Structure 1
Amino acid sequence: MTDEPLLDIVVAVHTAQRPVERAVGSALADTGLPVRVTVVAHGIATESLRPRLASISDERLRVIEHHDGIASPAGPMNAGMLAATARYVTVIGSDDHYEAGALQAALSRTTEGAEVVILPIRRDDGGRVSTPLPRWRHTRRLHPARDRLFTRTAPLAVVSRELMLADGAPFTEGLSSGEDLAISTRLWAGGARIDYDAAAPAYVIGADAPDRVTAALRSLGDELRAVELVLGDPAVRAYPRAVRRSLAVKIARVHVIGAVARRHGAEPTTGERTVLARLARELSHVAPGYAAALSRAESGVIEALAHDLPWIDVVDRDRERDEGSWRTRVLPTRLVDSLRTDAVLRRFMRYRLEPGGGR
């Protein structure tokens, strides 16, 4: 293309079996949009992708190679980001795609002053993914805590390149998973103007690629390393208390309790239990009082981990999140905390107002 693009879109692909042409085609569908797509061939030759991309003849497409021998998308995504020159950048999975008008809608927000425009997400089956879950009818200048931005980990957003690359390569390398946790945390909490409209055209998660790089179950140490790095970051510890609490609630629910839920039938090793116990305690140090927003069942799991109870007791408490009474599943330990922003009851009430629904 002769003119500098306004938006650089990075697609990392590690095998020619991925339907990368669909992602690229959706990004380039609007021939008048000033975008450029950079496909990063990760550990494979660009030639192997030619059959996939043969039908796309567009000067806004380029393919580069990145070889690091690491089964993580961080390396190729960083390579694509560092090759970007546009004012705004974004990433898309090689088996995902954009609905018509999604990029145009996001770029129109940047003309109004947004530095980050979070894209709505839906699944291939049509269901909306309600993360983040902002205050009703709030679409501009969102707040990290009040608008629950931390519930979205993947930075699937149009972002100012200057902001994305403020600390150099944005995705954390050397991790087997969680490479996007640090950058999304920094983006959501960094004070930039963030917009998000759940009713806008969406980013669509593909369901036909079973070989996602980060899909496999890993050791707990590997799985939670990204969380440990974020909680140990002095910048994170300096966030306002409400922001730290919101982040801690998300980490407790998604990362710590999520790790337990995936291991009901496989008791962690002694070392892995140490990691879980340390994180369960560390959350209270980083964000005192955060657990007030947890349901009684969720609090039970965190307390069991912190006190190093037998694994069977941890699992029994975790099952209460699905099988317990309504009070156990939904209400916090103190009823007065039921309407906290991150409380389960408050979230359920907000879901009822979300167009298209879905968690």
Structure 2
Amino acid sequence: MPIPPPPAGEQRGPDVDVVIAVHSALRPLDRAISSCHTGSGRVRVTVVCHNIASDEIQAGVQPRKDLPVRYVELHDGLNSPAGPKNAGLQLADAPYVLVLDSDDFLEPGAIQHWLELATARNADGVIVPLRHQSGAVIRTPRARASRIHDLDPVQDRLAYATAPRGLWRTGLLRSIGFKYTEGLQSGEDLAPGLHLWFSGATFEFPARGPRYVQGNDAVDRVTDTFLPLSREFDAIYRLDPRWLDSLTAAARRAVAVKLARTNLIGAMARRSASWDWSAEDLSAVEDLIRRLDEIHPGFRRPFARADRRLLNAAARAQTAPEAFLDALRQQRGANLLDRLLTPGLTANLDSESTLRQALRMAADWRRIFPV
């Protein structure tokens, strides 16, 4: 449904504010800005120059007459993307807002497609499909293959979409107090993303429409280094326990399973048994298991045998480090059945089970036919 023009003689502000935070003149910002062009003048781009002069950033961007771009500076001395993103969101006053990373870009027609869908469905937001710059589809959220309208945060596993990429009603973000967690080097989007998914808002997911593209060619990108696990898990510890308690049991379980599967197991597997595990890192693993048990004590049920052994050993990582490292080695070398099947057969029927996750991804038509 095309967006109707304003009455004759009446000027209309932008329908969409795009927020781009940038901290280096070496980032491909011009590409990101160019991808926001719709040809209709309904988009305004706000570039937040983080700890850098706007003149230095603007020098690498082609001037445009058909796309309003405003530059603001934020000098907070912090190595965190949360501050500039929040600053840009505070300036947004269009009906819809989208946050675009300076490395990334949008496929042609993306904003117009998402805006028309949100308007036609009267949706609070559009969860946008993602791909890598190489072309590989990013399979988040892990939604039901047939689900496009009115996604359910539990059944469509929205918690796995940690970074809330999408087009959102500005009023919705204001009403839930959406704010990236400041002071974090990573994970600044975890808390606001979960608050968004479980806000009761209505979401669309045009899985085969134009995509948000995650770029990987920034020339100033450095190799990722491992943070101490207490810092890597800091975003999880900052989740408001009162907010978690307000969720349904199913929602708390969905959050705990996601955090265990991607944040905890992912962090342990990336380091492996050969990592020089410090007492502090082992303690952080134990602490996180306890926190996940507090969120939902049944979170381990849907995990496959190899992962379940690792989670059980992680609960005693500091007190029994050799057993923990052995479980890490077993998890890495596990056979297919141990990687897929739960210890109890009936748990394989769980919607969050490793087996059902694998089958769902293998049969996902969005992966097989990504365009």
User: What is the rounded CA distance, in whole Å, between the counterparts of 1:214 and 1:67 in structure 2?
Assistant: 25
User: In 1, are the aligned partners of 2:310 and 2:331 still within 8 Å (CA)?
Assistant: no
| 1:114-136 per-position Cα deviation (integer Å, ceiling 9, x unaligned) | 10211111011111010111112
Give the letter for the 2:356 counterpart. R
- CA change 1:310–1:4 in 2 (3 A) is same
Q: By how many angstroms is 1:269 displaced?
A: 2.5
Q: By how many angstroms is 1:281 displaced?
A: 1.9
Matched, 1:173 2:182: yes
2:78 pairs with 70, 85, 97, which one? Answer: 70
User: What is the rounded CA distance, in whole Å, between the counterparts of 1:340 and 1:269 in structure 2?
Assistant: 35
Structure 1 partner of 2:360:
350
Q: By how many angstroms is 1:4 displaced?
A: 1.3
| 1:193-217 per-position Cα deviation (integer Å, ceiling 9, x unaligned) | 0111221111001111264599442
Q: By how many angstroms is 1:62 displaced?
A: 1.0
Give the letter for the 1:154 counterpart. A
2:333 pairs with 311, 319, 323, which one? Answer: 323
Structure 2 partner of 1:26:
35
User: In 2, are the aligned partners of 1:236 and 1:244 still within 8 Å (CA)?
Assistant: yes
Matched, 1:6 2:15: yes
Matched, 1:186 2:198: no
User: What is the rounded CA distance, in whole Å, between the counterparts of 2:250 and 2:118 in structure 1?
Assistant: 27
- CA change 1:104–1:182 in 2 (3 A) is same
Q: Which deviates the most, 124-133 or 277-286? A: 277-286
TM-score (norm 2): 0.90
| 1:72-112 per-position Cα deviation (integer Å, ceiling 9, x unaligned) | 10000000000111111111110110011221221122111
- CA change 1:296–1:193 in 2 (3 A) is same
- CA change 1:354–1:210 in 2 (3 A) is farther
Structure 1 partner of 2:167:
158
Give the letter for the 1:32 counterpart. S
- CA change 1:330–1:92 in 2 (3 A) is same
User: What is the rounded CA distance, in whole Å, between the counterparts of 2:330 and 2:197 in structure 1?
Assistant: 31
| 1:236-282 per-position Cα deviation (integer Å, ceiling 9, x unaligned) | 12211111111111100111111212222333322232221011122
Structure 2 partner of 1:337:
347
User: What is the rounded CA distance, in whole Å, between the counterparts of 1:84 and 1:197 in structure 2?
Assistant: 24
User: What is the rounded CA distance, in whole Å, between the counterparts of 1:319 and 1:354 in structure 2?
Assistant: 31
1:47 pairs with 34, 46, 55, which one? Answer: 55
Q: By how many angstroms is 1:319 displaced?
A: 4.1
Indicate the SS of the match to 2:14: coil
User: What is the rounded CA distance, in whole Å, between the counterparts of 1:165 and 1:75 in structure 2?
Assistant: 16
Structure 1 partner of 2:3:
none
User: What is the rounded CA distance, in whole Å, between the counterparts of 2:130 and 2:148 in structure 1?
Assistant: 15
User: In 2, are the aligned partners of 1:8 and 1:85 still within 8 Å (CA)?
Assistant: yes
Structure 2 gap segments, 5+ residues each: 1-10
Matched, 1:258 2:266: yes
Structure 2 partner of 1:206:
215
Structure 2 partner of 1:99:
107
2:304 pairs with 295, 305, 311, which one? Answer: 295
Structure 1 gap segments, 5+ residues each: none
Structure 2 partner of 1:147:
156
Indicate the SS of the match to 2:126: strand
User: What is the rounded CA distance, in whole Å, between the counterparts of 1:64 and 1:32 in structure 2?
Assistant: 24
User: In 1, are the aligned partners of 2:302 and 2:353 still within 8 Å (CA)?
Assistant: yes
Q: By how many angstroms is 1:165 displaced?
A: 2.5
User: What is the rounded CA distance, in whole Å, between the counterparts of 2:175 and 2:285 in structure 1?
Assistant: 32
User: What is the rounded CA distance, in whole Å, between the counterparts of 1:9 and 1:168 in structure 2?
Assistant: 18
User: What is the rounded CA distance, in whole Å, between the counterparts of 1:158 and 1:245 in structure 2?
Assistant: 27
User: In 2, are the aligned partners of 1:293 and 1:343 still within 8 Å (CA)?
Assistant: yes
User: In 1, are the aligned partners of 2:124 and 2:201 still within 8 Å (CA)?
Assistant: yes
- CA change 1:36–1:280 in 2 (3 A) is same
User: What is the rounded CA distance, in whole Å, between the counterparts of 2:218 and 2:30 in structure 1?
Assistant: 13
Cα RMSD, aligned residues only = 1.9
User: In 2, are the aligned partners of 1:8 and 1:84 still within 8 Å (CA)?
Assistant: yes
Q: By how many angstroms is 1:283 displaced?
A: 1.0
User: What is the rounded CA distance, in whole Å, between the counterparts of 2:139 and 2:210 in structure 1?
Assistant: 14
User: In 1, are the aligned partners of 2:41 and 2:67 still within 8 Å (CA)?
Assistant: no
- CA change 1:318–1:257 in 2 (3 A) is same
